[in-house]
């Protein structure tokens, strides 16, 4: 069984986003949000199926896991950290796509410059779709690369 800390995953996640609103929150609230996004990621079927066992230890801030297809422990740890961080980016993006701010129509005065909300929303949706596709491709590629059937001669 391998293990990584929440902080390793959270650090990888924070390196993939730019969200200055986090500065406004209490540290406790930020960790609670990131913990929710982490649990959401692990609950996703295409992520969960990578593991024969995975447990979150909220008290010690550890993730213990056993991969179904073990490459080597260090490579597996790096892979899991990256997959969980990307999944957290997806969980972070979803509410932003569905936010009331993006859905509501705004009206501007003649002094205010108006940007196309439809284009903005479409760009955010595309970013979410691209991130989900990137995560699925990384999981798929790991399966192809480490497929023992293909190595058989």
Q: Residue 6: its pLDDT value, please?
A: 95
Rounded-to-integer distance, Cα 26 and Cα 141, Å: 38
Give the CA angle between residues 129, 36, 94 to the nearest 5°: 25
Q: What is the mean pLDDT of residues 22-32?
A: 88
In contact, 44 and 52? CB cutoff 8 Å: no
Rounded-to-integer distance, Cα 77 and Cα 75, Å: 5
In contact, 83 and 135? CB cutoff 8 Å: yes
3-state secondary structure of 147: coil
Query: In the chain, how many domains are there?
Result: 1
Identify the residue with better confidence: 144 or 70.
Answer: 70
Identify the residue with better confidence: 46 or 13.
Answer: 13
Tell me the residue range of the domain where 146 lies: 2-151
């Amino acid at each position: 069984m391998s293990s990584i800390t929440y902080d390793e995953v959270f650090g990888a996640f924070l390196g993939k986003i730019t969200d200055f609103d986090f500065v406004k929150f209490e540290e406790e609230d930020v960790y609670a949000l990131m913990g929710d996004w982490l649990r959401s990621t692990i609950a996703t079927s295409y992520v969960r199926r990578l593991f024969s066992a995975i447990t979150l230890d909220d008290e010690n801030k550890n993730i213990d896991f056993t991969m179904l297809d073990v490459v080597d422990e260090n490579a597996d740890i790096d892979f899991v950290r990256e997959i969980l961080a990307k999944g957290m980016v997806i969980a972070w993006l979803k509410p932003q796509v569905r936010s009331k701010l993006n859905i509501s129509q705004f009206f501007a005065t003649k002094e205010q410059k108006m940007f196309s909300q439809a284009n903005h929303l479409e760009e955010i949706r595309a970013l979410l779709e691209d991130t989900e596709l990137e995560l699925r491709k990384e999981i798929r590629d790991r399966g192809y690369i480490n497929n023992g059937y293909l190595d058989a001669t």
